[in-house]
Structure 1
Amino acid sequence: MLVEKNVPLQPYNTFGIVARAQSLAHIAAEDDVRAIVDDPRWRGEPRFVLGGGSNIVLTGDLRALVLKVEIRGLRVVDETPHAVIVEAGAGEAWHEVVRWTVAHGLPGLENLALIPGTAGAAPVQNIGAYGVELQDRFESLDAVDLLTGRSFTLDAAQCAFGYRDSVFKHAPEAQAGGALPRNMGDGAPMLPRNMGDGAPMLPRNMGLAGRALITRVRLRLPRPWRPELGYLDLARRCAQTGIAHPGAQQIFDWVCAIRRAKLPDPAVVGNAGSFFKNPSVTPEQCADIIEREPKIVHYPMPDGSVKLAAGWLIDACGWKGKSVGKAGVHERQALVLVNRGSGADSVSGGEVMTLARAIQTSVYERFGILLEPEPVVV
C-alpha cells in the first residue's frame, strides 16, 4: 500500500479546487484498510474517505489521512429467475459499471448512465436520474469499520436510503469512539422506518459518516427487465424517434446524449454536478407558489408531497450564467455551479460556498424555500 505526503488534491476532485492532503493512502484492497487501522502511526488520526471526488467541495487543505478508494473488479455473483446480482469494486467508475452491464446484456442501470463518481460513492449519495435511484437496484454492500478494521455487510434497509441520503451521510453521534453493533458483520440490526411518510428514520447512533469505508457494492438487476420511460426527456425521445419500446442500449445512449447536452463535462469545466437537492413541499405550499409563479416546474410524489425543480427556482432568481469570483452558475443548467478558473488560478472552495449561500438567500427571499446543497463540504 502506497502512502504519500503533501499530496495535491486538485486532480482528485471534479470541481478542480486547489487543496492538499497532509497524507494520502491508496486503498486497493480491504487489507489496506486494516493495515491503516493497525498501524500505530495513524492511530487516533482523523480519516477522510475519497472516491471519485465528484460530490465534494474542498474549502481548505485536509489534515486528515485521505483514504483514496481504488478497489477494482466487476463480476456477476448470482443469477436467479428474478434477478442478476452484479458486484462492483468501490473504486470502479460508476459510468463504467453501467456501461459494462449494458454491454453484457444485463439491463437495469441504463437510466443512471454518465453520473460521475465511483461505485462506492453511489450508495452514499443514493444517486438517481431519469426515474431511477440507486436504492431501486441495490442488493447489499461490504464495508470496513475504520475504528476496528472489522468488515461488515449492509442491505438496503440498513443503508437507510432517502432522497440523496443514506446512513453514510450521518455522524455516529451516540456511539462515537465505540464499536459498531455486534451483529453488524453478520446481519446488522434492521433500521426502523418512519411510518408517517415511508422515509427511513435513523437511530441517532447509527450514522456511519467518517466511520466506514465501502469496499464492494452489489446491484440487483431485475428479471424480466422493463424500461423506465416515465421521465419527460425520455418520453420525448420515444416520441421524436418513433421508438416505442427501446432496449437498454438505446436508453443508455439517450441518457448520455441528454446529459451531455444539459450538463458540463467535469473533465472540461470543473463542477460537482447538481449542487442543490430538489426541495419537497406540501400540496398547500405548492399551490401558494403556483398562484404567484404559474410556470414553476413541480412533480407530485407518491407520498403526497410535491417536488420542486431547484434549477427552475435558481433560474427564476436570475442566477443562470452569473459568477462570484471564479465560481459561476452554468449557462445551460442553473442547478450546476462551475469553476471559471483553471490550473493554479482555479476556483476556491470559499468562492463556491459564497456563491451557494447567495443563491440560497435569493431563493429563500423569493419563494420561502431553503435549498440544501448536495455535495459534502469539507
Structure 2
Amino acid sequence: MSKVREGVPLRELNTLKLESQATYFLSASSIEEVRLGVMEAKKHDLHITALGGGSNVILSPVIEGLTLHLNIKGREVVEEGTDHIVVRLGAGESWHECVLWAHSKGYYGLENLALIPGSVGAAPVQNIGAYGVEIQDLIAGVEVVDGHCGETKTLTKDDCAFGYRDSVFKREVGRHWLIVSVDVRLSKQAVCCIEYPGLRDHMSDDPMSPESVLQAVIALRKAKLPDPLVDPNVGSFFKNPIVSQSFAKQLKATYRDMPQFTTHDNQTKLSAAWMIDYLGWRGVEENGVIVSVNHALVLINKSALYAPQITQFAGKISASVKATFDVTLEVEPQLIGSGC
C-alpha cells in the first residue's frame, strides 16, 4: 500500500509511553493524504484508528487495521467581524501552542484551556474543558473526512453533540468522522472567565485581563499536573461523576467534606479526585504505575510496558470508589485496541 507502513511502533505517539504496534500506519499531513488512507483502508478492508498527539489514549499492545496519524498543520483566519474572529486550526497542531498564538494575536477566549496537552484534532473529541470553559463554548465548525467514503464535510456545534468530556466522535455513530481542522470563534475584545472558584481565588490579588487569566491557568496546571514529557501520563484519568441531587444529598450527609457542584441541568458533579484521595490512593504504586502525589486523578507510568498494567490498577481504584461511595468512575482516556 502506497505510503502505508507495516509494523510501526507507537511508543513515541502516546504520552503514557506504552509499547504498542500498528499493523498498518499512515501519517497524514494533508486532507488528500487522509483520503488516501481511507481509500487504502477500504480497498484492503481495514478498520481505521485515528491518532493525534496520543495524550488522551491508552493503546493496546497491537492496533489492528490502519492507524491514521492526523498530522495536518495550519492556522488561518477564515472570518472576521467587528468584535469577533474565527480561526481555523489544523488537526495536527499543538493545542497549547495554538492557545498561545491566538492570545498573542489578540484573539481571546482560549486562555482557560491553556497547557492542555495534545493536538487540536483531539480537542472536540474529548470536549476538553478546564477552569469553567469547554471547547464546545467556542466551536464554530469541525471539518471532517468520512472514514467510510473519503468525503469531506463541516460539522456544526450541534452535529458534534457535545457533553461532559464527550462528543459524537466518541460514539459509534460518529467514530468514522476523521477530524482534519477545527474552527473556533474568538473575541477581539478582552474577555475573562473566572467563574471557577480555584481560578478566582488564585487571581484575587491580580488585575483582571486575558493575560493574567492565561498566566494563572498555566501556573495552576503546572503546580498540580505532571508534565507528560517528564512523567508519562494522560492528565485526568477519571471523569468527575454526575449523580442526581437526591443521591448527592445522601452522600453529603455521610461525607460532609465531599465537594459537590450543581450542573446546568440541575444534577450534581462529584469530585473523583476527592474520593480517590479519601480512600488513600494518592502515592500508591502498583504494576509500575503510581497515583500522583500532587493530584489523585493522575496516574503516572513509572515502568509499565503495556496497557493492562494501567487498566488493572485503575480498575482497583474504581472498585474501591464503587464499594465505598456506590459511585461508578468512568475512565477519561480512550481505550484503543482489544488488549486494554
TM-score, length basis structure 1: 0.86
- CA distance in 2 between partners of 1:356 and 1:96 (Å): 31
Counterparts of residues 1-378 of structure 1 (less than 5 Å): 2-39=3-40, 42-171=43-172, 207-209=173-175, 211-222=176-187, 224-239=189-204, 242-245=205-208, 247-341=209-303, 346-378=304-336
| Structure 2 CA distance for partners of 1:42 and 1:265, relative to 1, 3 Å | farther
Identity of aligned residues (%): 38
Partner of residue 183, structure 1: none
Code of the aligned partner of 1:300: T
Give 1:371 deviation, angstroms: 0.4
Give 1:40 deviation, angstroms: 7.4
Q: Is contact 1:90–1:118 with CA below 8 Å preserved after alignment?
A: yes
Code of the aligned partner of 2:273: G
Q: Give RMSD over aligned pairs.
A: 1.4
Give 1:41 deviation, angstroms: 8.1
- CA distance in 2 between partners of 1:304 and 1:78 (Å): 36
Deviates more, 1:222-231 or 1:55-64: 222-231
- CA distance in 2 between partners of 1:41 and 1:224 (Å): 47
Q: Is contact 1:227–1:248 with CA below 8 Å preserved after alignment?
A: yes
- CA distance in 2 between partners of 1:40 and 1:215 (Å): 17
Unaligned ranges ≥5, structure 1:
172-206
- CA distance in 1 between partners of 2:224 and 2:249 (Å): 29
Give 1:27 deviation, angstroms: 0.4
- CA distance in 2 between partners of 1:293 and 1:233 (Å): 21
Q: Is contact 1:6–1:21 with CA below 8 Å preserved after alignment?
A: yes
Deviates more, 1:1-10 or 1:72-81: 1-10
- CA distance in 1 between partners of 2:157 and 2:118 (Å): 20
Helix, strand or coil at the partner of 2:38:
helix
Helix, strand or coil at the partner of 1:303:
coil
Unaligned ranges ≥5, structure 2:
none
Give 1:102 deviation, angstroms: 0.6
Q: Is contact 1:36–1:42 with CA below 8 Å preserved after alignment?
A: no
Give 1:223 deviation, angstroms: 5.1
